[in-house]
Chain A
Amino acid sequence: MADMAGGAPATEVATSDPDGFDGVRMTWNAWPRSKIEASKCVIPVAASISPIRSFPDLVVLPYSPLRCKPPCSAVLNPFCRVDFPSRIWICPFCFSRNHFPQHYAAISESNVPGELYPQCSTVEYAIPALGSGGDPSAAPYLPPPIFLFVIDTCVIEEELGFVKSAMRRAIGLIPENALVGLITYGTQVQLHELGFSELSKLYVFRGTKEISKELILDQVGLSAPGSTPTPGFPKGGMSQANGLHPAASVNRFLLPASDCEYTLNALLDELQIDQWPVEAGNRARRCTGVALSVAAALLGTCLPGTGARIVALVGGPCTEGPGMIVSKDLSQPVRSHKDLDKDAAPHFHKAVKFYDNLAKQLVNQGHVLDLFASALDQVGVAEMKVAVERTGGLVVLAESFGHPVFKDSFKRIFESGEQSLGLSFNGTHEINCSKEIKIQGIIGPCTSLEKKGAFCSDTVIGQGNTTAWKICGLDRSTCLTVFFDISPSERSSQSGIPNPQLYIQFLTNYQNSEGQIRLRVTTITRRWVEGSTNTAELVDGFDQETAAVVLARYVSFKMEMEEEFDATRWLDRTLIRLCSRFGDYRKDDPSSFIINPNFSIFPQFMFNLRRSQFVQVFNNSPDETAYFRILLNRESITNSVVMIQPSLISYSFAAPPSPALLDVASIAADRILLLDAYFSVVIFHGTTVAQWRNMGYQNQPEHQAFALLLQAPHDDAQMIIRDRFPAPRLVVCDQHGSQARFLLAKLNPSATYNSAHEVAPGSDIIFTDDASLQVFCEHLQRLAVQS
């Protein structure tokens, strides 16, 4: 329990790579072989995979992969047994024997292709575009990305001003070839025809009426036969994705950034806040739902395979038409968690249904919805969550379009190079695994493609019942959590010689930010643990960080899906069971309780998870909760751990910056604390430091050191902020200041007003009745050893 800092600070992430070469982390790295044993493990068997995480040593193979015969279709990998003389390889999943094709003729033990290198458990195939016929000299056509902006104009002038400046900056950053479209909306939806030269032209849709995609296209004159490609999921090859727009007329609305920059800027100059009158005591009439429908429909005219994102800048709740989340009457507040619990949110289910359909449409088209919500009140992220998450969209929640959280995040999505998010499109994720393994489903930014197969478990968690998923939008940090079920089939048990290894292969087909089609193949293997006696092996394979995150994701999921679900109690019981199972103790003697270091931080994670925004939702609005959960589900394990258990660094003259306990006791008058709670970064000055600073010592040459001390946490904070998407909120506060609550809320209340007498001078206390970690652990020990 010494390593209370938990997840390594971001600085470390870059250097050491906790997620490993493959980007796959599992709750258990040794798997129990039977279903019963698995259930005894308490923590579900799950893997978290970052499908397209970038790392420098990735091998990119410029040819198509070699696949096992259907239905397996697994890709040749280092775990295949290769019979060089006979030019045969044996698939580790289905044990089929496959002949190498002609062009592998030169294969030999000393000459193996890249995908067979043992260290290349992850390779990427750059699949030549079909059009170029494999001729490398013919530059394949790379479909430009599409950005369709959807801007809310039901905001105050000031906010619109912020939006405009953010947009202008974005327009400057967008690659020249990217296609850009613009929709503004308020009471009505305005679709701007950027390609109309004579004057500014826009189509106006009423905000109150739900309109079908066909009708929209018909109304804007895009419904020419053949122009609407159908949904159909681009299969494996994705070769047809050339991004050409068969309905040339869609070019009226989507223009290369270089062509419409002037027009866009002019439009932004003229853009006004919504002019429809708002009656006193009412909310503005805002038809976010219809606006998004229109956007989705417009993108529907693009060929499948074209990478497109709807970038929605939403400034308030949808109050009209489909997707409405609250009535116009201000006397009716936006739904709270309480309302949702009591089923007293009249619009909620309808809205969710609408966005769910929207999500389906977007997924069919392979397009992404990004949501930038900036408002003091809620805007309906909770309802829109489904559309964002299913399409792999980005979401940013801020208080204002002028807030750095929005500004910095918004800018990020258009940046390229080092700062690029590596936004990719049209991902399809497939999983092959050994026969004993079944897939329950995935929690994360993806949609089931409903490709049923032998590997589908009957139990479904998240997007299940399939072995293939669609990830319309994905980026370097995108992370999926796959839940496995272990159910040895008859055959595998009969086979006699049980294979001690299990294999799982993750195939991710996507179109990278340059528009190239890539197939990333990650094949991993793990050990089976036979029988019920080898607990030690299981314990060795336990990854407590992953387990904590998976549990957090799972519990969040259950909270959303199950009514009356008591998350805290469920977590407690899980933890107690886990400790009972893997701890060493004498029955009914709490003091005898010892647990393997592999589990040591886990209780602390649980303690913090119980207090976190993921479980304690009532401190937050449903929008915030949805926002936090979306990010929890899509971020890497390392980042997710920070969300659950923030990291704390202490700065003082006495010592170099060092991790500090996430405890109120870490507060000292002469320290500066840097808290990274993922969504916020807090710089906290102890009283003395604050006084020094206020007296301006840092400006005196002789107090250079103090200036450096003051500056250090800021530098570190900036580093965190720079690399993170969405940008976290930076809070700079002083001890006893009002903003200090951002820190105090995250700290273990080891000193409360009840225990004030123990407080060290210069430290602080927290006004809470919450149990402290110590108390929590005591209870845990007591309960774990109960017979």
Chain B
Amino acid sequence: MASSFPPGGPSRPRPGYYPPSIANPSPNPSPASSLPGAMQNLQIGRPSVPSGPPPFLSAISAPASAGSRPGTPPQSLPTRPQFQQPPAISNGPPSIGVSGPRFPTQATLREPAPMNPTQGSRAVSGSPSAGSPANDLVPPSIYTSSFSAPAAGVQMAHPSLVSSSQQLHPLMGGQPSHPLAGGPPSQPLRGGPPSQPFTGGPPSQPLTGGPPAQPLTGGLPRQPLMGGPPSQPLMGGTPSQPLMGGPPSLPYMGQPQMLQHSGLRQPLPPSGAAPPFGSPPVWQQQQPRPGVAPASSMVQAPPQMFGAPPSPFTQSRPLTPPVMGNSPLAWSHSSTPSTIDPNQIPRPMADSSVIVFKTRQGNQVNSPPPATSDFIVEDAGNCSPRLMRCTMNQIPCSGDLLSTSSMPLALLVQPLAIPNPAEEPIQVVDFGEIGPIRCSRCKGYINPFMKFVDQGKRFICNLCGCSNETPRDYYMNLGPDGRRRDADERPELCRGTVEFVATKEYMVRDPMPAVFFFLVDVSMNSIRTGATAAACSAISQAIADLPEGPRTLVGIATFDSAIHFYNLKRALQQPLMLVVPDIQDVYTPLHTDLIVPVAECRQHLEQLLESIPSMFETNKVADSAFGAAIKAAFLALKPTGGKLLVFQSVLPSIGTGSLSSREAEGRTNVSSGEKEAHKLLQPADMTLKTMAIEFAEHQVCVDVFVTTQAFVDMASISVVPRTTGGQVYYYYPFSALSDTAKLYNDLRWNISRPQGFEAVMRVRCSQGIQVQEYSGNFCKRIPTDIDLPGIDCDKSIMVSFKHDDKFQEGAECAFQCALLYTTIYGQRRIRVSNLSLPCTSMLGTLFRSADLDSLLACFLRQAATAIPTSPLSQVREQIMNLCVSILHSYRKFCATVSTPGQLILPESVKLLPLYTLALSKSTGLRNDGRLDERSYWASHVASLSVSLTVPWVYPRMISIHDLTSKENNDSIPSSTLPLSSAHLNDDGIYLLENGEDCLFYVGNMVNSEILQQIFGVTSVDGLPTQFLLQQYENNLSKILNDVVNEIRRQRCSFLRMRLCRKGDPSGMVFLSNMVEDKSPGGLSYMEFLVHVHRQIQTKME
């Protein structure tokens, strides 16, 4: 089955521990060509007028220029003038609103038509091909990850959106996003970043311009979709043409139905299209006021764009007016429903270009690029954002300031994150017997921010301020710049992340061997569904990748209503099966030989794995003693610790820790069911939790692979992995056909990815703040440290902070994460990552430095934590309130200039409403979700890395029926579609992925030739229900497979493939991902914006 995807399909990173060796999927090997310093380039780029401007334009101008856009136009126009200045200001970027104040006018620039061309050409590598726009589009560099980036850039094109409707207009200011991020002052720099997404310096600009583009991107694609091809006249009609100078764009659009290039997008922006669209999303009639104010506010926009903007502006302006005109309605305030151009709404933008990110420059801290973008880090004192990322890149001086902003202060730590192969590997520092130098008071580790004084005889801890004596052996005098002369030679003094070799003091015992214990469910259902066979074959293949050495130990057991261990000792003629039948009070059946070096038992193990499915073929035992089995396996692992990988297929119904079918009970007991539904997301009892804590004490990390077709009480089961630093894999409904390959790949990655054992982690921070809470998969026994029996490159831990004092403006706040762990090769190491961020007392700066991706991760985790304890509706409300509070804070304190009627979004977080909406519609927060799915969602989220957070909430969707028609150099899908059913055509095939699942949506009128090429069937009806992606001998199929493999590589996940057909229940599943649509459970994106705006308005009053 899996043949089509070679196991390696997505070339998974090899176990190699080291970053370098690890060619991680994640790191995009993709041509990082221009990436380096993309940010900077951007800045530099400023001069290059074209690029710069666009961004702004996008924001502001768009509306304006877009004239086409509904409501906004009018307002925007007026403001725009101001904007123009902004360009110069460029800073403005961050929050539009903000910008507003500072720069009288904020202008969101849309990409001027001209821009497009340029960009198009650049961005689109295939620019030449421009002729065939479609292709070009694709190639682009932008691959999904880019979403975020673009997003930022995109603000909401309020104006356009709101268009007619009054309120909205004002909405978005945020376009300048990227720039915004840059933070006003540093704008240039930051501005850069945004641009980065766009990458190709030059092109980038266009891209950046992109922001506006974003709308474009977002829009474009849509438009294309929408109007695109045949479909709606609207599109065609679309204003875009007119706007853009559309001509070129249009053609593009037209041709490539699906994906548009950034270039294409541009056309969109012009999107004056909106007007035509107008109809599409209809806004409710809402507040009149907005309408009023809007106009001005609309404009907002962060002029910030790189210096460049100016010119664009100018251009844009002209455009805008028309746009404005379009949206006369808005002006009217009338409550009549207003139409908004959906394409103008801020949306994530894909960008495939590689960015080079230097963590610090001089004394300045650079804000990291979006987590989903492709970047290469130069560690200049601060660690890579992959390892630690803060929700804000400037730390508020006081707790008051923080609470005013309503934003959380948290650090997302992914201590073993896989670096980009192009990055310098993390250096290992060995201090010999004395061990790493540490502060005598707080025990903080030596780092680049410790200040050496007194000719180097003493050093002052940057965390606690204690003055320490420099150990004699470590003494070095200071150079003229006040730094130690050897600072640049010593990694611990110049790198944000180093790894110290641990001395005996850091060990309570010899470093443990790498132990992998497999536990396979062989109960009746498991056998019958093929889950056992799949697990066995996965294990059998996966162990081939285990290192041979004597330090790698393996063991295996199976279980149904009893636990079967196997003695794999070499001397035995055949494996010996040892049954432990007492599942109330388990024990391990042998003292030795249950866990043996893999080298000694490989053959036995393979034989055994082959025979297990047949051995239990006739098993009539339906019960499964999960709890007892893990306990027994734990007992076997107790002396060493290690990883326990459990393959579970049914509800654990017997023995210690058995569970009941609570879902069914919940259903029958409807009256309490509704109110108390969330309680079913809590573990059934404390048994498993207690067990898990014991496991953690003995360094046993449990991963559970749930291959089921029914309720398994994930809420209870997941407690074990979550407490032991493991994770849950969920295959529901399990299909032996389609899930076997994923199971294998998941397992393989699980055991071969970079990881550590028996770890302890602690985050220290400067005086002034303190750690409030850790959240993630770990066990915590003492308040300051967390125990991680297992930690791997995919696990992320969130650390939240609270103020206990104030910082001085201009001071820096340092964070240091120390992870003491044992490598798979048995070395004890301390990985120390440092992040030192400037402090600010300016709210505006704070908003400008906000990190959208981290914030989202924070939101997500909060939601996940809340769902077992509060009713869903309440959780959704909380999330939305949080969003509103932040926007309100910005609106109130940073955007005073703008008219009250406008919805103003800080550039840095302009996608917050979209993500909030998406989050509220996610599996975990939807009302219709199954209990297990919701629990799985929550448990998955608990350790989700920042880079996977975005797609998890707002999946990436691309069209695939037209892959061949796009130019595609890197096999990276470049143009993503907004998650709106408006962008789905009946004759299209779409791929949607969130890092975990990959859904193929097949319209009901798809060309049979395309079907044949992709699926090997000639009609939609012939599509199999259980799907296996195969590669056929044709270009389209090949490209598709390349694309999928690329996605797999990026996500470090094999992806669960599912086919969704229009008009089928599976189609509904797919459509439930269209978060921008209005659904029974929630508002459409535009409705939501209105809603948010209204909330803010209410608060303002």
Contact = CB atoms under 8 A, between A and B. Distances in A.
B527 to A, nearest CB: 14
Nearest to B575: A199
Contact of A220 (B571, B581, B611): B581
A199 B579 contact: no
Interface stretch (B471-479, B588-596, B735-743, B758-766): B588-596
Contacts of A198: 611, 614-615
Contacts of A204: 565, 578-581, 587, 589-590
B585 interface: yes
A326 to B, nearest CB: 22
Interface residues of B, number: 26
B582 A277 contact: no
Contact of B579 (A203, A211, A266, A276): A203
Given A204-B580, A219-B562, A219-B582, A266 B573 contact: yes
A200 B574 contact: yes
Contacts of A196: 577
B582 A275 contact: no
B571 A270 contact: yes
A194 to B, nearest CB: 13
Contact of B576 (A202, A275, A276): A202
A275 B587 contact: no
B572 interface: yes
B803 to A, nearest CB: 54
Contacts of A190: 578, 589
Interface in B527-583: 562, 564-565, 571-582
B574 A199 contact: yes
A611 interface: no
A202 B574 contact: no
Contacts of B573: 266, 269-270
Interface in A215-258: 215, 219-220
A286 to B, nearest CB: 14
A215 B587 CA distance: 16
A215 B611 CA distance: 29
A211 B582 CA distance: 10
Contacts of B589: 188, 190, 204
Nearest to A211: B582
Contacts of A219: 562, 581-582
B592 A275 contact: yes
Contacts of B614: 198
B591 A275 contact: yes
Most chain A beta-carbon neighbours within 10 Å: one of B580, B593, B611 = B580
B638 to A, nearest CB: 13
B587 A188 contact: yes
A79 interface: no
Contacts of A275: 590-593
A interface, how many residues as a size bin? 20 to 34
A266 to B, nearest CB: 7
B577 A200 contact: yes
A201 B565 CA distance: 9
A209 B574 contact: no
A55 B608 CA distance: 57
Interface string A174-205: 00000000000001101001001011111111
A411 interface: no
Contacts of B593: 275
Contacts of A266: 573
Contact of B577 (A199, A211, A220, A277): A199
A206 B585 contact: yes
A205 B563 CA distance: 11
A215 B581 CA distance: 10
A201 B615 CA distance: 11
Nearest to A266: B573
Most chain B beta-carbon neighbours within 10 Å: one of A215, A219, A277 = A219
Interface in A31-52: none
Contacts of B591: 187, 275-277
Contacts of B564: 201
A423 to B, nearest CB: 32
A199 B611 CA distance: 9
B572 A270 contact: yes
B581 A205 contact: yes
Given A199-B611, A275-B591, A276-B591, A205 B582 contact: yes
B303 to A, nearest CB: 75
Contact of B581 (A203, A209, A270, A277): A203
B523 to A, nearest CB: 13
Contacts of A187: 591
B611 to A, nearest CB: 6
A206 B583 CA distance: 11
B582 A199 contact: no
Contacts of B577: 196, 199-202
Most chain A beta-carbon neighbours within 10 Å: one of B574, B581, B590, B615 = B581
B42 to A, nearest CB: 65
Nearest to A191: B579
Contacts of A205: 581-582
A557 to B, nearest CB: 40
Most chain A beta-carbon neighbours within 10 Å: one of B564, B575, B590 = B590
Interface string B638-652: 000000000000000
B581 A199 contact: no
Contacts of B572: 200, 270
Given A198-B615, A266-B573, A206 B579 contact: no
A275 B615 CA distance: 27
Nearest to A202: B578
Contacts of B576: 199-202, 270
B619 to A, nearest CB: 11
Nearest to A197: B615
Nearest to B574: A199
Nearest to B608: A199
Most chain A beta-carbon neighbours within 10 Å: one of B582, B592, B608, B614 = B582
Given A187-B591, A188-B589, A202 B611 contact: no
A202 B591 CA distance: 15
A204 B590 CA distance: 9
Interface in A269-292: 269-270, 275-277
Interface in B577-629: 577-582, 585, 587, 589-593, 608, 611, 614-615
A188 B580 CA distance: 10
A206 B578 CA distance: 12
A209 B585 contact: yes
A440 B936 CA distance: 74
Nearest to B565: A204
A201 B579 contact: yes
Interface string B832-858: 000000000000000000000000000
A260 to B, nearest CB: 16
A277 B591 CA distance: 8
A265 to B, nearest CB: 11
A540 B608 CA distance: 77
A196 B580 CA distance: 16
Contacts of B611: 198-199
A203 B590 CA distance: 11
A209 B565 CA distance: 20
A377 B580 CA distance: 32
Given A202-B578, A206-B582, 20 more contacts: A188-B587, A188-B589, A190-B589, A193-B579, A196-B577, A198-B611, A199-B615, A200-B574, A200-B576, A201-B576, A201-B578, A202-B576, A202-B579, A203-B580, A204-B578, A204-B580, A205-B582, A219-B562, A275-B590, A277-B591
Query: Top 10 closest A-B pairs, CB basis?
Result: A219-B581, A204-B589, A201-B577, A203-B579, A276-B591, A200-B576, A206-B587, A198-B615, A275-B591, A199-B574
17 contacts: A188-B589, A190-B578, A199-B575, A199-B611, A199-B615, A201-B579, A202-B578, A203-B580, A204-B580, A204-B581, A206-B587, A215-B582, A219-B562, A220-B579, A270-B571, A270-B572, A276-B591
Interface of B: 562, 564-565, 571-582, 585, 587, 589-593, 608, 611, 614-615
